[in-house]
Amino acid sequence: MLAVLLRILLVLWLLRVVNVALFYRLVPNVPPARRRAPGGAFVSVVVPARDEERSVGPATESKLSQDDPEFEVVVVDDESRDGTREVLRGVERKFPGRLRVVEGNRLPSGWLGKPHALHQGVTAARATRPDDWLVFSDADVSFGPDLLSRALAHAEAKNLDFLTLFPRMEMKSAGEWLMTPAVGNVLAVYAPGWLVNVPAARFMGAGGGVFNMIRREAYDAIGGHAAQKDSVVDDILLGLRAKRAGFRCGIALALDSLSVRIYHGFRETVHGFTKNLYWGMGGWLVSAVPALALTFLDGLLPSLILVGGLAGLSPGPGTPAFSLAAAVVLLTVAVRAAAHVRLRYSVTSILFHPAFILAIGLIGARSTFVNGVLGRHSWRGRHRDARSLRF
């Protein structure tokens, strides 16, 4: 029975070899591009900001420093309780006429904070013509000066209506170094992220809070953020809805011109993943529990067999189970290493794969218990009944 289970895991990792190879092949780096001439489609970069005093200043200045001639930045101050508004006032003085700060209204019933902030930003945006573009980006995300030019050129070259860009992930603590790569590994290893670039695969869409760019016509056609006002992962859902509606969607890497440090330190990483992981596993106990079970089984069993075999506690060297476990572990390291090279993550961190799986799995279990069992969803001082929310 153990050998059969390990053979299944071996086949699973062989399929992931193909998955990563297709990710390399079909998910490009966003190419260099010349600065656009004035008079073309207008771009409104819409940014939600709640309690972002730490990062909003330099990140907003980077967004305002684009070489594109036809853009604005709209930041929605979502009832921040810290110094976010004061920081933004200073940025406004440095970029008069280019930055507009919208004072967020009180959160209505039925809405989550981020979708509501983005909805208000779109209402205020100047990108109103069908061929204009809306860009949604979190308040702590930094843009290179040519990012908009490159994203627009790529979207036009591929005839896209929606484009999401994957950033360089900054990691500055041991907890971030261990756990942050989960984001890219889901996209490149565990899920077929490359299918976003296959128009016929309408079931596979993706998006990210770091950079979602959508044509205004497409945004209005799918109902905007009002149609997903109670979504915890609204950024992912926006891309998925656009793909399902038949719009041309794409994903590309922008590792040299887009960056973010999604969480600062171990405690913040745990809290952030607790908010999201349950919803990333579908937002249902019937999907989250099997996903967690597979995570622990797939990520820990082969390593445990190897350690146990060497210690004389389980089938040892020369047995089929030990050989299969060794093959799975080697494939795991090789496949994840290939993904890390592509995404510019530390390859050394893969040596701690069991610790990575244990940490992510336990946080996923915590997220499932808090959201799916207790029905509690909390983020930045706002609390909701998780049963009233959705993916």
pLDDT tens, 246-270? 999 999 999 999 999 999 999 999 9
CB 164 within 8 A of CB 239: yes
Lowest mean pLDDT among 21-25, 130-134, 311-315: 311-315
Q: How confident is the model at residue 97 (pLDDT cuts 50, 70, 90)?
A: confident
Residues of the chain with CATH 3.90.550.10: 26-264
- Per the DSSP assignment, residues forming a β-bridge with 249 are 162
**Model pLDDT, residue 222:** 98
pLDDT tens, 179-194? 999 999 999 999 999 9
**Model pLDDT, residue 19:** 97
Pairing verdict, β 382-385 and 99-103? unpaired
Q: How many CB atoms lie within 10 A of CB 290?
A: 12
**Model pLDDT, residue 381:** 87
Token pair in block for residue 112: 């989550």
379 pLDDT above the threshold of 90: no
Average pLDDT over residues 220-240: 96
Measured over the CA atoms of residue 55, residue 113, residue 74 and residue 273, the dihedral's sign is positive
Average pLDDT over residues 263-280: 93
CATH topology of domain 26-264: Spore Coat Polysaccharide Biosynthesis Protein SpsA; Chain A (3.90.550)
**Model pLDDT, residue 295:** 96
Q: How far apart are CA 32 and CA 295, in angstroms?
A: 38
**Model pLDDT, residue 389:** 87
